[in-house]
Every structure is written in C-alpha cells, then in structure tokens.
Chains A and B, each alone.
Chain A
C-alpha cells in the first residue's frame, strides 16, 4: 500500500486519522431523560469514577423533569444514602423526600399534560435478601426452607464473587416487572456493582447459565438420579478426588445444595435470560461512566465495544472528575519559564529547597517567602493545571478517535463530595451542560 501514500488523496480519509480532535458529539442528557421511550438507564464503568453519584443525579433530574423514577444503587456513600433516606437496607424502593418536580406547583403547568407529577424512589441492593426472594419465589415452601438452610447456599448468597452482579440484574428485572404491572414508575436508573471489571455485570447471567448447564451440576446430580452409565467412569474418579481434597462433608453439602436447587434451575435461567433480553430491548440506555484516566477510559472502551457486540443500546459516555481548562492562553512551558526567571532574580533563592525541613510530613506549603514567589507559585499552578488538562484532553481524543460517534459529556471535578440533593442537582445541571 505504499503507493497509496504518494497519490493525491481523493477519498475521504477513514480510520483513526479521520476523526477530528474533540470530535465526539455532545451527549444530550435532558433529551434522554425526557424521552418517554427511555425506561431503563444503566450506569456502568470502572470503580471509583462516580457511578453511584451519577446515577443518583440523573434519577433526581429525571424526577424533577416529570418522570416517575426509581433508582437502584449498589453501595452508596453513607451520607449520600442518608440524604436520600435509604441508609436502611430493606430491599424496597423508598420515596426520596425533598424532590421538587418542575412546574407542578406553579401555574404554568400545561393542561394537556395529565401525567402524575414526577417523583423519585430510591433503594439500595440487598444481595442476600434478593437471592432469598428468588429462591422463595421459585421453590415450594419446604424446598425453599431446605435451600435457605444449606451452609453452601448461605456462603454462596452472601459472598460469591458474581452474586452481586447477578442480583443487581435480578433486582432490575423485578423492578421492571413491578413498574409495568402497577404503573408505579416509568424510568429505572441502575447503578452497577464495583466489579473487578465493568463487564462482570453483563456476564453474570451467562456465567450462571453456563454453570447450571455445566457438567459439574450433572455430576453432582448423578447420585440423585440413579446410576448414570455414561458418567460412571469419570464419576468415581472425581468424587474420590473431591473427597480427598475437600472432605466428604463439604461434598455432601454441595450435593444437597445442588439437588435442592435442581427444581428451581429452570426458573433461575429463564429469569436471567429475560433480564438480559430486557437490556437489549428498546427503551434501555447504557451510559458508560469514566474518569479521564487511562485505566477508566480503557474499561469504558471495552464496555462500548461489548455493548455494540451484544446489540445493547449505548446512549453515551460521561467523563467525570475532569480538570477545568484554564481560561487564559499562556502555555504551560511559557508559565514555567517565567516562573524560573522570577526565581533566578530572587535575591535569596536558596531558602526554598534545602532549608525546608520535614516537607514530607507537614501539611504546609514549602516555606517560600517574598512576593515574587507568589507570582512564581501562581505560574507553576497554572502550568500544572494546563498540563493536567491537556493530558486529559489527549486521553479523551484517543478514545473518541477509536470510538467516534459516542456522544460524550465532560463533568468537571467538583471541589467537595456530593452528599445531598442540592449537590446532586448541581451534578445533574453539569451533566445537562446548564
């Protein structure tokens, strides 16, 4: 293809070079929230990028714009949970106090809008309780009691690495069914668990399904179903090995557990598949949340590709905690050079580095004095910010070059944490670029 380079370019350029810097379209959050077709919004992304806060802020904004919203959070910060009235884990949506739907109290409420006013319910996921409820719904009372008392089940339902993901999916399915039946809500906003990988959430049902269909289950069920000729050769080998390693008691627990669950497997799988289908359905919107950091954006990229591969609707990318670009145009290099010149003309420049003691463990700034130092300090701060912002910009450009067309909104890092509705409203406004 070397000859192609010499020819004058007659075709529009394709591939990464074709993407403009800053080329992502803007994500219109309000349009998404106002669209009555939007029934489910899933916020996903790496841990520590502000998924929970984003989900809560979107839910509040949607409610105040007239939607009847329920938000499912996984592990909110304590003060945020308190402010939403969900510090109690009871696995049921509770109304959030202090939501003020736009226009409902004012006279300019259009008469042609007979809808109920917007409102917001919130809940925090109780993993074990959700699992128990699934079992109770699927099995006869005696069978359910047997399962719930099994030591293996108790461990599985409270600590299995994928249980939280699966239960978040399950709860989403429940909320969706309830909302449909009772008409209580017209929008569900879901936060996803702080997984090892953002993809775990999507993989949970599949993993459960493949486990339930797997040979292991068949193996464990073999004694209950009488001698299985096909399995018998491997079977005694495997049970022998298992008994040797984990002991007969544990093997018996696992077998009892699997045998008891056997009757409810069908229901389990069906529900997992239904929820998965729900995520692919029209009306579901995925928002990928990231921070302008290589790891978080890499996770976001995996997610964007995965959603496309699974036919799941991606609404856009939210980049949280971004640095605020400086308003002035002085470059980082020019600022540092000027700071250096100020330092050079300082009559007593040696006083800073060598004499400052204990700089590592005290909380004060380096002991520079004099006013030229103030200006030099301001210039250095400016250079620091300019470099940070330009690096973040570069990371985002790379993302949008590889994933052009992903609608994006950038939310600047706030100075403090958000722990009340006022803070959530502020985030909501920033998400909507107000």
Chain B
C-alpha cells in the first residue's frame, strides 16, 4: 500500500465537497467517503442538495426529511468506538424558512411571505438564491453556531454536490449574490461562507471515470475551481476496469498474438471444454478489454498530470449496494482519502 492504513491525506478538512460529471458515480463516492470517515471514528453529516433522495436509496432507508437523520455506523476500527453517518436532504424552501426563523424575528410577516409566493419565488425563480440557500445550510452544518441550539456537532460534512459543470458557480456564493445584494446582511453572510469555502478546511473532490469527456470536464473543472480560488481536493477515478492481465499480455491481446494452444491446454487441464467457440470468445474479449484498457491508460496519464492526488475505485460488475459502499469506503480509507 502506498499509504499505510490510517494515514489520512485530508485530516484538516471539515467540508468535503464531492462533484463529478453525470454518470461517473459522484453520489456513490460521496456516500463511500462519508462511511470511510465514520470508520475513522468521526461523526459525519452527508448532505444531498438535488432532491433526488439518492442517499436514502443507497443506504436503503426511508426517504429523508429536512432533518438530520442517523443512517449508518462506520466500521469498527482498532477496537475504537465507530463513528456514524447522519444524512440531510437539503430542501431550499425549508432552508429559507429555517434561515428566516434563525436570523429574523418575522412572526406573521414570515407566514405572509409564504402566502404571497415570496418563498416559492426565492427558491425557484430568483437567480442564484437557491444555490445560496443550499450552500448556506451546508455552511451552518459545518460551523454550528449558538443560534441553532442543541444541534449536533459534526467532525466532517460530506456534500454530494451538483455536477462538475456547475460546481464553481454553486460554491461561488459571493459572486452569486453580488448582482443582487451589494450590501446588507446577505452580502456579509455570503462573504463569511466564502471564507470557509476558500479555506483549507474545505476540499472539493472530483469524481471521474477514465473516459475522454469526463476527464476533460475534470480538467476544466479544476481550472475553474482554481481560478475562483476554491480548494481542489483529490480526483477519484471511479469504475476502473479489472486489472487481470499484465501489460505484456494486454499488448499481445491487442496484437492478437496470445497463444491459443496454451490457453486451450490450461482450460482442458481444469476440466473446461476448450472448444473453438470458447477460445474465440475469450480471445475476442481479451482484445476488446485490452483496447479499452489502453484508452483508459491514456486518460489515466492525463489525470496523473493534473498535480492533484488521485484515488482509484474499481468497477463493480454486480452494481453498488450497501455492502459495496462499505467495500468502497474501505478502499478510500486505505488510499488515504477518508
């Protein structure tokens, strides 16, 4: 192992933002990261902001309310008390009402806002406000203050964030409100949030698969994050193909020079009927696999050149269930992300 088990690359990070192109498995990675951190004994909050109820499905629990709910326990580690994963489905309307209740004593006026469609306007139509409400709640969870009495304190918050193409805009709350609020409480609150998001206590991790478009988007995403002075964390390379053949055999498989008779002999020896259909099939699969592995390696090299730590997760042919999440969590922990 490159990193001894237990050594962690991001010990100071309190807010892990996990983004990635659609279809790369960012929600899976966010969940596995939360479990991995819980397996270090941490108390973790896993947040989702897109209203998909993806966390509930992954952890096989009832749909999440706008309320922090305990959903899983970390693996026992060195006989220490395991940590836990809590989850929160951040709904912008509920976040706005909570924000108003926390910061403004509006009373009847607060209810009137709802009745006159102001809440709906703010959360669905008003530009940028939705994002600010979502990030605002995340910020509140990371930096619990005296206004939220009795709330649980977390060691780490993992955010299953919007996709790579939108992540910089999403986190760049100062920019978002700049066009709307040039001064006043909203402006200063956005600036405080920005200070946390730009600090070393935040890390934005990017999930990708080893294909051209997602890798390109990851590269672009990192450049945008850096331009906005947001801290780039690690790149998680997800769904890597199996590594069952060494390079020289991959090369031979591509060239079509694998020794058919040797393979036939091996198969016959262990009682498999090595007919032409099977041999043709295995060799064709090997050639196809080798071609895809070569493309994977090309993209992998591009990712290695990015000057960010990389982490690797295998493609799971059986899909991702709760058991698989624990396995992925262990892998991330071994590699030092969690």
Residue ranges of A at the interface with B (Cβ–Cβ < 8 Å): 46-49, 75, 77-78, 151-152, 154-156, 158-162, 194, 196-197, 207, 211, 214-217, 219, 234, 237-238, 240-242, 244-247, 249-250, 253, 291, 293-296, 324, 326-330, 334, 338, 341-342, 345, 357-361, 363-369, 371-372, 374-382, 384-385, 387-388, 391, 415-417, 419
Contacts and interface: CB of A to CB of B under 8 A. Distances in A.
SS class, residues of chain B in contact with chain A = helix
Interface string B280-320: 11111110110110010100110010000011100101110
A9 B229 CA distance: 69
Given A330-B278, A360-B334, A374-B245, 15 more contacts: A194-B165, A238-B109, A238-B116, A241-B109, A328-B277, A338-B272, A357-B1, A361-B335, A364-B247, A371-B266, A375-B263, A376-B266, A382-B285, A415-B292, A417-B213
B334 A48 contact: no
B243 A328 contact: no
B318 A387 contact: yes
Contacts of A240: 109
A391 B234 CA distance: 30
Contact of B23 (A155, A211, A250, A291): A291
Contacts of A417: 211-213
8 nearest A-B pairs in the assembled complex, by CB-CB distance: A48-B23, A47-B22, A48-B22, A328-B281, A216-B117, A375-B266, A241-B109, A377-B244
A382 B281 contact: yes
16 contacts: A49-B22, A162-B125, A196-B51, A207-B124, A234-B116, A237-B109, A242-B113, A245-B185, A293-B23, A295-B54, A338-B271, A365-B243, A366-B243, A374-B245, A377-B249, A387-B317
B79 interface: no
B8 to A, nearest CB: 15
A35 to B, nearest CB: 31
B165 A358 contact: no
Nearest to A50: B23
Interface string B232-258: 000000000011111101100000001
A364 B124 contact: no
Given A250-B181, A365-B243, A378-B263, A47 B117 contact: no
B79 to A, nearest CB: 24
B150 interface: no
Given A234-B112, A371-B259, A384-B317, A361 B212 contact: no
Interface string B218-241: 000000000000000000000000
Contacts of B130: 161
A363 B297 contact: yes
A365 B24 contact: no
Interface string B316-335: 01110000000000000011
A194 B284 contact: no
B73 interface: no
Nearest to B183: A247
B317 A388 contact: yes
A358 B246 contact: no
Given A338-B270, A374-B258, A415-B291, A365 B284 contact: no
B300 A374 contact: no
Contacts of A419: 212
A334 B262 CA distance: 19
A187 to B, nearest CB: 26
Contact of A324 (B51, B110, B244, B288): B288
Nearest to A343: B270
Nearest to A337: B270
Interface residues of B, number: 92
A391 B319 contact: yes
Interface stretch (B32-40, B100-108, B194-202): B100-108
Contact of B249 (A214, A216, A357, A374): A374
Contacts of B284: 327
A245 B249 contact: no
Contacts of A378: 244-245, 263, 282-283, 285-286
B155 to A, nearest CB: 25
Contacts of B165: 75, 194
Contacts of A295: 54
Given A161-B124, A238-B118, A242-B113, A296 B23 contact: yes
A204 to B, nearest CB: 11
A160 B169 CA distance: 12
Most interface-central of B121, B125, B242 (chain A CB within 10 A): B125
A384 B176 CA distance: 46
Contacts of A196: 50-52, 162
Nearest to A160: B127
Contacts of A415: 288, 291-292, 295
Contacts of B317: 384-385, 387-388, 391
Nearest to A323: B317
Contacts of A215: 115-117
Contacts of A217: 117
Nearest to A52: B213
B179 interface: yes
B22 A338 contact: no
B136 interface: no
Contacts of B182: 249
B184 interface: yes
B180 interface: yes
Contacts of B312: 360-361
A211 B281 contact: no
B148 interface: no
Given A238-B116, A338-B271, A391 B318 contact: yes
Given A194-B165, A234-B115, A365-B243, A211 B266 contact: no
Contact of B128 (A159, A216, A374, A384): A159
Contact of B285 (A359, A367, A381): A381
B167 to A, nearest CB: 13
A93 to B, nearest CB: 24
Contacts of A330: 272, 278, 281
B163 interface: yes
A215 B121 CA distance: 10
Given A234-B112, A291-B23, A155 B281 contact: no
